[in-house]
Each structure stands twice: as C-alpha cells, then as structure tokens.
Amino acid sequence: MLKLVWLIPLSPLIGFAINFLLGRRLKLGEGVVKLVACASVFISLVITLGAFYEYGWSYAAEHNNAPYLTTLFTWLPGGLAHQTLGRSAGALAEFKITWGYQIDQLSLVMMFVVTFVGFLIHVFATGYMQGDKGYYRFFSYLNLFMFMMLLLVMGSNFLIMFIGWEGVGLCSYLLIGYYFDRKEAGDASKKAFIVNRIGDFGFALAIMGVFAVFGSLEFTKVRELAGAYPIEGLWQFGLMSWLALGLFIGATGKSAQIPLYIWLPDAMAGPTPVSALIHAATMVTAGVFMVTRTNFIFQRSVTMMLIVALIGCLTAFVAATIGITQTDIKKVLAYSTVSQLGYMFLGAGVGAFIAAIFHVFTHAFFKALLFLGSGSVIHGMHHEQEMPKMGGLAKYMPTTYKTMLAGWLAICGIIPFAGFWSKDEILWRSFSTGIFAGGKLLWIVGFITAGMTAFYMTRLMALTFWGEERFRKAHGDGDHHDSSHGSGHGTVEPHESPRSMTTPLIVLAVFSVFIGLIGIPRAFPALVGSHANINIFERWLEPVIDDVHHLHSAEATVGSASAHQHSESSTAAAVPAEGANHAAEAEAVSGSEYLLMILSLGIAIGGIMLGRFFYLKNPDLPRIWAERLRPLYTLSFNKWYWDYLLDVKAVEAGKEFNRGLWRVDALAVDGGVNGSSWLTRLAATISGAWDKYVVDGLVNASGWGARFGSIALRAVQTGFWQNYALLFTVGLFLCLFLYERSALLELVRGLYRAATGK
C-alpha cells in the first residue's frame, strides 16, 4: 500500500472535481453527490490503513524507522542560490522542490485521523444537509478540504506543507461562508481568512529563513542539519529562535492561539459538519502538527519553548473562562476547542511533543463526537442553538444523548475515557519539566483549567439534555440549511436524527471511550514493579519525534548554550529521546505523579458535581452568582473584550489610519500628480496656440500671399500688346517716380509748359 500513498490525497481531489464541475451542469442528484464524496474519502481511508499496516509491520523494521519517501515529479527545478544565514552562509545551495510525500509514524497518525474522522463527518453530513440547494457545492468543498489537509500532513518539504496550509485556509473561507446570503456567515469567513493571513505571513518568512540557513526545504535534510546548531539558552535569541518564532506565529493563526484565536468561535456560522471538520480533524490541528514536525528547530531555543508553553497555557485558561458563560451550544464547543488547543501547545512547549500529538489524536474523536452531537441536537430541535431554549432532550434523543455522554466524560478527563490519558500526560509533563523554571505554575493554571472545562461542559449537558423542557416556550433560529425546517409546529417537538447521523456518533463514542488506552502512561506498570513501557502511542512516535524532558545542562537554561555544539543528527543532539531512558525514568517516578493524576481526576469530578449543583439541582443559582460576580461575569460573557478590542478598536484604528492615508493620497500624492498634469495641460495649450497661430500663421500667411500675388499677376497677363504697352508705360513712370523723382517732376513740368505756352 505504500506505493499507492499518492492516491490518498488524489482521491478526494477527484471527488471534488466530479461534484464541483459536474454536479450542477449534469444536475447530479443527492444520491450521486454523496456517493462520490464519501467514496473518495473512504478510498483514502482504506489506503491509509494499508500503508499504516505495511509501514508498521515491515518497512519501519527493515529500514530502521526511516521515513518512506516517494517523489512524484520535480515541481520547481530552480537553480543555485547563495545561503545567506547560518554556518553555511555564502555557500551555494540548489533550490529544487520535488512534489513528494513523507510517510512516517507522525504523518500516518495524522492521515488516519483526517481520513477516518473526515469520513464519519461526510457520512453525518449526508443526512444533515439533506434538501440543501447547494448540496453538490457543500460536498465538493468538503472533499477539497480533505485534499488540502492530507497534502499538509503528507508533504515531504515545507513548500508542499505550505500549499496545504493555505489550501485549508481557503476551504475554511468557502465553508464558513457557505451560507453566503447571510451577513454573519460572510463576515465570519472574511474574519477567518484575514486573521489567518497574519499567521501565514510569519510562516512564509520562516520558510524563507529555513532555506537561507539550511539550503533545503526537505524535512529530512533540515532535521539532519539542525542538530549541528547549539541550543540557544533562555533569553538568547539566535537564528533558531527566529525560525521557531516565525513558525509559531503561523501556528497561532491556524490553531487559534492568543492573540489570533478570535476567528475560530465565529467559524460556527458555517454548517455544523464544517465546524466538526475544522475543529476536530483538520484545520485547527495543523498548527500543532507543524510545530511537532519541526520540533528539531524549536528544541534549539529554550526561549521559544517557554513562549510556546506560556501562550498555550494562557489560551487554555482564557478560552475556558469564556466558555463558562456562552449560551450558544456551538460557541461553547468552539471555546472548548480553543482551550484544548492551548493544552496541546502547553505540551509542546514543555517538550512533550508526543503527549501533544496524543491529545490531538484523542481530541479529534471526542470533539468530532461533541460537534456532530450538537448538530444532531440542532437538527432535532428544528435549528435551535440556544441552550436556554432546550432542556430535557435526553428522552427525545436517546442515541444522541448517550453518545454525547461519552464525549462529555472524555473532555472532562474522567478515567478511562480518551481525554483523561492525554490531558493528564500534558499536565504531568508540565509539572516535571526541566527545560525551564516555572513548570509547576504552568501545571497550576492547567489544573484549574481542567476543573473549569468539566464545569462548563456539564453546564452544556445540563442545559441541553437534563432538567426542564424549556423548548416548549420558544422556537429559535440556528444554522440549519433549510430555513423552513420545522415550519408548521406550534411548539417545538424534538426528534431523534436519522441513522446516517447517529451511526457516526456511535462509532466516535466507542473511540472516545477506548482509544485513550493506547497511551497509558509508563508510570502505571511501575505500580506493580515493572519497567515495561505499555504506552503504545509513545513507542510508535518515539523514532520520529525528539521528545524532551530537559535541554542538556544548566547552561542551556541560563543562557550559555554555546558550549553545547553537536555535530550529530538532531535526534541524538537536541535532546535524549524518551525511549532511551525508559528504565531510568520509571525508577525516578515517585508518588507525585500518581498524586497529580488523582488530583486531576478529582478536580474533573469536582467540576462535574459543581455544574450539576448549579444547573440541575439549583437552576436559579447561576443567575444569583452572575449578579454577585457581575464584573467577572461581564468580562467572561464579553469574551474578555478581546473581540471588541480587535474588531472595534484595532479595526477602527486601522480604518482611521487608512482614511488618513487616503487623505494624504488624495491631497498630497493625487494633488501633486493632478497639479503637474494641470500645468502640463496649460503648457500644452500655450504651446498649441503658439504653434497654431504664430508658427503655422506665418507659414500659412506666406502661402496665402504667394497665392494672391499669383492671382493678381495672372490678371494682367491678357495676351494683348496694347495692355502690355500700357503696363510698360505705367511701370516706367513708377520706376522713374521711385528712383528719379526730381527728373520726372522736371519732365512733367516741361511738358506742361509746352502744352500751355507758359
């Protein structure tokens, strides 16, 4: 199957082409459209599973865990270019970009998540979008989204990853704004597109920097060369730190971290399957994947590792506080996604890259379940999204309710559900990190956030499925594709969703319960005196991810990393892999890890109990406490005013700045240009008049003079000698008059005297 991996991204691209180009022209029915869309993704899933099996069972062992690289063609032959930075500055490097795929343990995990969860979302959407007038357009966009995300995770170099990176941004714009006739959807799609452009700019600069430093954009080559660079200690900011900063700016945009997280909650304007695809299987996990793929760069900078951890921790906390007060069921889930992404970056920042990807893996299942479950609720509630207008839905939608219970317990972090294992591993690694001081503070914030997560997710379940049936009092308006859906109902009567929608929920629920067991911490066997590593997920990723517990020596932490220059590959140079120290770490684990695990479980249970107490046992308490804590409630409800500061203040300031630039352009630039053109026109007018009336006038006058002179002369040319004699006489007298005037006068006088006798 490894030889067929090129078909994995190609299959959904073909599905996109068929539905998009022929769906409307040939008026393909919904049956054909959904068959093409789902089959194309299913083919990718089957090939992915085959590649997973072949790589894991034979290729990895035979090739010492080396990645399987396949090159389809040379995309950009390029030429020679000088490296301008780093140790090889001035050397010539060949800029050659091949279109190829890198199949290794990390890419296979992401390929499975994208194709498996993506396929279930496609199946769910066949029922959810039934009757929509843009059915073919919706599924063609979904297929294109799958193609771009697969390109992102499979690309063998930075440039192919960047194409997929930009592609998922384009698809998010198309799908968030799917209801283009709604202003809210249009604004949300533009917001997502523009905010992501900010992050993408940093990523693009980082890619240029990578080539300038390493002379290559191939991941395998860059990873090999990065090991030769020393670790830049805390507050040192060298080449590796700048590269990591650019990459992280890109990640904050795509994975919705502070300050670029504001687009993700607004992305709920699109259809619910889109929300599930963006939040669970594709776009928002791209940033975490990219940071993990380039971990060999981040590990060379202690400062950037700290920044990643701080931003992730802060994002997790802030998003959780906002989720507590939101009333739209999809908005609550959106902020929970932002918060969980913060956990992932917290894990990456403390060196637990495997734990971060494990949380990406488990989160994909339970978050897809929660979003699709919310879509089932919205469908059954006749497109109502406000939780205060729901309640008591458990008996009306039993399958949706039971499956969402699994997702709820998973995100709350209850053992043995998937979210417990991945989130607890991140918290433990934050507590025990040796990369920089302050890990325990990060753990405290993450610990409190875990309690808030359990609280607001219990609030969601209570307001939606438990308690009073408030839906009989109101019939709202949500995101459903059919605006007439539910018409004719005096009151809302909820109903269970069709099998096409509930079957994916059941499958995701099973995975949300059991999939976390593949990542049981290695500390568990130590309880019975064993040093065996039963963490299947960790063992799988160890060969490709340089997971770290600390960066070598105290000098790296205080800023003297120059003493640590390594010439070997980054796997051995940057940090010791966890797999090399299994026994030592297992022996070093004390009761503190188990205590922290119990505390994590305890605060999750406490958050659940508190949520039930407030929203089920005493439904008036939230209003009372909201009044008592009015400033905090207002801060949370208004999203810490971050949207206000950016959407209103920053945007308005930008608009005012642009208006100022416009005035400068209109008065100064355009004024100068227009003034110079006016002067030019004036000079041209004067020049034209001079040429027309003076220069041309003289020329024309000489011509006219010659013409009239010839006419006059022609009048005397009669051909009669009498006329010539007369003219001769007249001419003679004129000549005498002009030249011999006195003699002529004497002659005239003489003639006169002779005639008169005087």
**Does residue 612 sit in the same domain as residue 512?**
yes
- Per cent of the chain over pLDDT 70 is 88
667-703 pLDDT per residue, tens: 888 888 888 888 998 899 998 888 888 888 888 888 8
pLDDT band at residue 320 using 50, 70 and 90 as cut-offs:
very high
Single out the residue in 573, 604, 637 at which a domain terminates. 637
CB burial of 594-606 (b: ≥16 within 10 Å; e: otherwise) equals: bebbeebbebbee
pLDDT higher than 90, residue 562: no
714-738 pLDDT per residue, tens: 777 777 777 778 878 888 777 877 7
pLDDT higher than 70, residue 565: no
pLDDT band at residue 657 using 50, 70 and 90 as cut-offs:
confident
**Does residue 436 sit in the same domain as residue 548?**
yes
pLDDT of 475: 52
How wide is the angle at C-alpha 100 spanned by C-alphas 94 and 106, nearest 5°? 115
Any domain includes 425: yes
Highest mean pLDDT of the ranges 97-101, 408-412, 707-711: 408-412
Any domain includes 186: yes
**Does residue 589 sit in the same domain as residue 734?**
no
**Between 719 and 578, whose confidence is greater?**
719
Any domain includes 650: no
Mean per-residue pLDDT of the chain: 85
**Does residue 451 sit in the same domain as residue 594?**
yes
Number of structural domains (the chain) is 2
Any domain includes 222: yes
The C-alpha atoms of residue 87 and residue 90 are separated, in whole angstroms, by 9
The C-alpha atoms of residue 338 and residue 323 are separated, in whole angstroms, by 10
**Does residue 608 sit in the same domain as residue 736?**
no
The answer to whether 364 and 113 have CB atoms below 8 angstroms apart is yes
pLDDT of 656: 83
**Between 372 and 751, whose confidence is greater?**
372
pLDDT of 86: 59
Task: Show the domain range for 725.
Answer: 721-756
The C-alpha atoms of residue 52 and residue 46 are separated, in whole angstroms, by 10
pLDDT of 477: 46
pLDDT higher than 60, residue 99: yes
pLDDT higher than 70, residue 119: yes
Any domain includes 264: yes
Residue 587 CB coordination number (10 Å) = 10
- Under the phi-then-psi rule, with left for phi > 0, alpha for psi from -120 to 50, and beta for the rest, what region is 553? left
**Between 375 and 647, whose confidence is greater?**
375
**Does residue 561 sit in the same domain as residue 459?**
yes
**Between 646 and 142, whose confidence is greater?**
142
65-97 pLDDT per residue, tens: 999 999 998 887 776 665 666 566 666 667 788
pLDDT higher than 80, residue 26: no
Single out the residue in 605, 637, 669 at which a domain terminates. 637
pLDDT of 46: 96
Please give the biggest Cα pair distance in the chain: 174
Closest C-alpha to 104, from 144, 167, 51, 43:
51
pLDDT higher than 50, residue 558: no
CB burial of 230-267 (b: ≥16 within 10 Å; e: otherwise) equals: bbbbbebebbbbbbbbbbbbbbbbbbbbbebbbbbbbb
**Does residue 431 sit in the same domain as residue 314?**
yes
Rg (CA), the chain: 40
Any domain includes 749: yes
341-381 pLDDT per residue, tens: 999 999 999 999 999 999 999 999 999 999 999 999 999 88
Any domain includes 73: yes
The C-alpha atoms of residue 305 and residue 683 are separated, in whole angstroms, by 66
pLDDT of 528: 52
pLDDT of 576: 42
The C-alpha atoms of residue 140 and residue 697 are separated, in whole angstroms, by 74
**Does residue 632 sit in the same domain as residue 726?**
no
pLDDT band at residue 153 using 50, 70 and 90 as cut-offs:
very high
**Does residue 56 sit in the same domain as residue 178?**
yes
**Does residue 632 sit in the same domain as residue 733?**
no
Phi then psi dihedrals of residue 414, to 5 deg = -95, 130
Any domain includes 699: no
The answer to whether 21 and 74 have CB atoms below 8 angstroms apart is no
pLDDT of 732: 78
- What mean pLDDT do residues 104-122 have? 95
Say whether 70 sits in a helix, a strand or coil.
strand
pLDDT band at residue 567 using 50, 70 and 90 as cut-offs:
very low
**Does residue 600 sit in the same domain as residue 749?**
no
pLDDT of 91: 67
Q: Which of 195-204, 477-486, 523-532, 704-713 shows the lowest mean pLDDT across its residues?
A: 477-486
- What mean pLDDT do residues 17-27 have? 84
- What mean pLDDT do residues 524-535 have? 66
pLDDT higher than 80, residue 480: no
pLDDT of 561: 35
Say whether 87 sits in a helix, a strand or coil.
coil
Count CA within 13 A, CB hemisphere, residue 120: 26
Single out the residue in 619, 637, 655 at which a domain terminates. 637
pLDDT of 568: 34
The C-alpha atoms of residue 143 and residue 317 are separated, in whole angstroms, by 34
Q: Which of 274-288, 499-513, 571-585, 623-637 shows the lowest mean pLDDT across its residues?
A: 571-585
- What mean pLDDT do residues 591-607 have? 88
pLDDT of 342: 95
The answer to whether 287 and 254 have CB atoms below 8 angstroms apart is yes
**Does residue 625 sit in the same domain as residue 728?**
no
pLDDT band at residue 443 using 50, 70 and 90 as cut-offs:
very high
CA distances from 503 to 39, 380, 480, 508, 618 (A): 17, 15, 20, 9, 35
Amino acid at 207: I
168-212 pLDDT per residue, tens: 999 999 999 999 888 888 888 988 998 999 999 999 999 999 998
The C-alpha atoms of residue 721 and residue 218 are separated, in whole angstroms, by 110
240-268 pLDDT per residue, tens: 999 999 999 999 999 989 888 888 888 88
